[in-house]
Amino acid sequence: MITIIDYGMGNLKSIYNMLKHLGIDSNISNNLGEIKQSDKIILPGVGAFDNAMKNINSMGLKTILDTKVYADKIPVLGICLGMQLLTEQSEEGYLKGLGYIKGETIKFSFPKEKNLKIPHMGWNSVSFLKESLLTREMYGEHRFYFVHSYHVVCKDPSDSLCKTFHGYDFTSAFSHNNIYGVQFHPEKSHKFGIKLFKNFVEL
């Protein structure tokens, strides 16, 4: 069973409905017993980093997530803020992240003359940097939908799975062992998102 983690922030129903459209069973839950039985986890998120980590910590979710990641080694997919929560910390706040990926989350910063908007919002192209089961059989140009003001910087460049250009190249997806994160919203990205979810289910 795929569990979509409900920690009080995120577009849970959109992800659930996308999986349902694909004929894939999933549940939305913050019940520790149900999460313990999961064979895959999706960590969504929309909002502020510290608020998300406060909720995760206060609900006792970090302990069970640590077990699923390190002991059970099940596939975990972070989406948007969920991807950022998988890192060690964020410039957006002061609380520690989950720390499953060595890296931090920083805010876009551009010279005024570039006149680039923050947040980075809308459709943008994604380039693949390495092979991964998450992006299996995804060839050529792929476009995904983004809404974010912060992005991840991986300490180990080999963890970066995809890059996207917005003023400069940034990591738009990462993978490390059983941990995956995407900055874009596959649940809003039509055929490209459908393929990515299919690949995650088949991991």
User: Which residue is catalytic, options 80, 92, 142, 148?
Assistant: 80
**Helices 12-21, 190-201: crossing angle, 10 deg rounding:** 80
pTM, 2 dp: 0.96
Partners of 2 in the β-ladder: 26, 40
Q: What is the pLDDT of residues 28-81, one digit of tens each?
A: 999 999 999 999 999 999 999 999 999 999 999 999 999 999 999 999 999 999
| Backbone phi and psi for residue 136, each to the nearest 5 degrees, phi listed first | -60, 135
Distances (CA, A) of 94 to 52, 79, 104: 12, 21, 12
User: Which residue is catalytic, options 154, 185, 190, 202?
Assistant: 185
CB atoms within 10 A of CB 153: 13
Reduced to 3 states (helix: H, G, I; strand: E, B; else coil), residue 104 is strand
Q: Find out whether the peptide bond into 111 is cis, omega within 30 degrees of 0.
A: no
- CA 7, 64, 92, 10 torsion-angle sign: negative
Cα separation, 91 vs 149, whole angstroms = 11
For the residues 14-39, what does the mean pLDDT come to?
A: 95
Q: Does the active-site annotation cover 162? A: no
User: Which residue is catalytic, options 113, 120, 187, 202?
Assistant: 187
Q: What is the pLDDT of residues 115-150, one digit of tens each?
A: 899 999 999 999 999 999 999 999 877 999 999 999
Provide the residue range defining the domain that includes 55. Answer: 2-201
Q: Which candidate, 84, 203, 185, places its Cα nearest to that of 132?
A: 203
Q: Can you give the pLDDT at residue 102?
A: 98
Q: Are 152 and 101 in contact (CB under 8 A)?
A: yes
For the residues 91-101, what does the mean pLDDT come to?
A: 97
Q: Does the active-site annotation cover 148? A: no
Cβ neighbors of 151 (< 8 A, separation 6 or more) are 105, 106, 108, 120, 170, 171, 172, 183
Q: Can you give the pLDDT at residue 111?
A: 86
Q: Does the active-site annotation cover 185? A: yes
Partners of 173 in the β-ladder: 162, 182
Read off the CATH number of the domain in which 195 is found. 3.40.50.880
Average pLDDT of the chain is 95
Number of domains in the chain: 1
Distances (CA, A) of 13 to 5, 46, 158: 11, 13, 33
Q: What is the pLDDT of residues 138-182, one digit of tens each?
A: 987 799 999 999 999 999 999 999 999 999 999 999 999 999 999
